[in-house]
Amino acid sequence: MNITAYFAQLGTPKTGLSPTINIRDISDGSLTVSAAAMTEVGDGFYMYAFTAYDPTKDYSIRCDGGATLIDADRYVIAATGIPADGSGFTALGDTRIANLDAAVSGRAPAGEYDTEMSRIDVDVSSRSTLTAAGVWDALLTGITTAASVGKLIKDYLDAAVSGRAPASEYDTEMARIDVAVSTRTKPADTQAKVTLVDTVTENTDMRGTDDGALATVCTEARLAELDAANLPADADSIKAVTDKVDNMIEAVE
């Protein structure tokens, strides 16, 4: 470790001095270096190579520029060690070195940090306080945005899943479609055809099964007219009428 001291006389760098240095171990006050000569560097700077430096210890340093300087300019003091706030250089062997566990080049540059931070363009307190639980507690009446996930769930999840057929039942039904539908006969190929014509056929709506008269036409009253007792009387009545016609014709002649 190199220790450097600067000496000046009335504000002007002082060269040609023969300064000495004392170094003490702060932990016990012992003198580690006593009146060791320093080497001139130039422009008022002088240097001492502290080869006995122990990075685990703190030291107090006093450099003496010599009696040719006034008291205000004669002594330069310094100390090694790490301030309580961790500022300054970190001594080799300090446990905080373990925090340097990645290359600085692997960290985000300040410009990227600024870009991300610029996106925080409003007070966080002005944003919604809705929690995840609050989303699930939202009423259906408030879900109106078209094509939103909430609207799709509202519109199509309209029945309990337990009320739908299980996948196994669907598989069973689909398994019955075991051949291509195109290989089956079309209904039109087996249905009887009805042909419309312009002619009128014999009306058989008054005829029953086996050409028997329908009951609505052949009533009991009409069948009674065909009884044996009624047929002679009917014939006599017809003859009487024809006889009268004949007599009328003869009278006219």
pLDDT band at 87 (very low <50, low <70, confident <90, very high): very low
| 3-state DSSP percent of the chain in helix, strand and coil, to 5 | 35, 15, 45
SS3 128: coil
Burial label, 78 (beta-carbon count in 10 A; 0-12, 13-18, 19+): middle
Q: How many CB atoms lie within 10 A of CB 82?
A: 14
Residue 159 pLDDT exceeds 90:
no
Amino acid at 128: S
Of 112 and 95, more confident = 112
Average pLDDT, the chain: 79
User: How much is the pLDDT for 158?
Assistant: 81
Per-residue model confidence as pLDDT tens digits over 14-42: 999 999 999 999 889 999 999 999 999 99
* For range 137-161, the mean pLDDT: 85
The whole-number average pLDDT for the span 242-246 is: 72
Highest mean pLDDT of the ranges 42-51, 112-121, 204-213, 236-245: 42-51
Q: What is the pLDDT of residue 68?
A: 94
How many angstroms separate the CA atoms of 210 and 122, rounded?
Answer: 99
Contact 4, 40 (CB under 8 A): no
Task: Walk across the sheet containing 31-37 and list its strands.
Answer: 31-37, 20-25, 59-64, 75-79
Q: What is the pTM of this model?
A: 0.36
DSSP annotation of 229 reads T
Q: What is the mean pLDDT of residues 58-68?
A: 94
91 confidence band (pLDDT: 50, 70, 90) = very low
* Whole-number Cα distances in Å, 125 to 114, 120, 128, 209, 241: 21, 12, 8, 95, 124
pLDDT at 244 over 60: yes
Whether the per-residue pLDDT at 110 is higher than 70: the answer is yes
Residues 18 and 64: their CA atoms lie apart, in Å, by 9
Query: Contact, 27 vs 57, CB < 8 A?
Result: yes
Predicted confidence at residue 167, as pLDDT, reads: 78
pLDDT at residue 102, rounded to an integer: 80
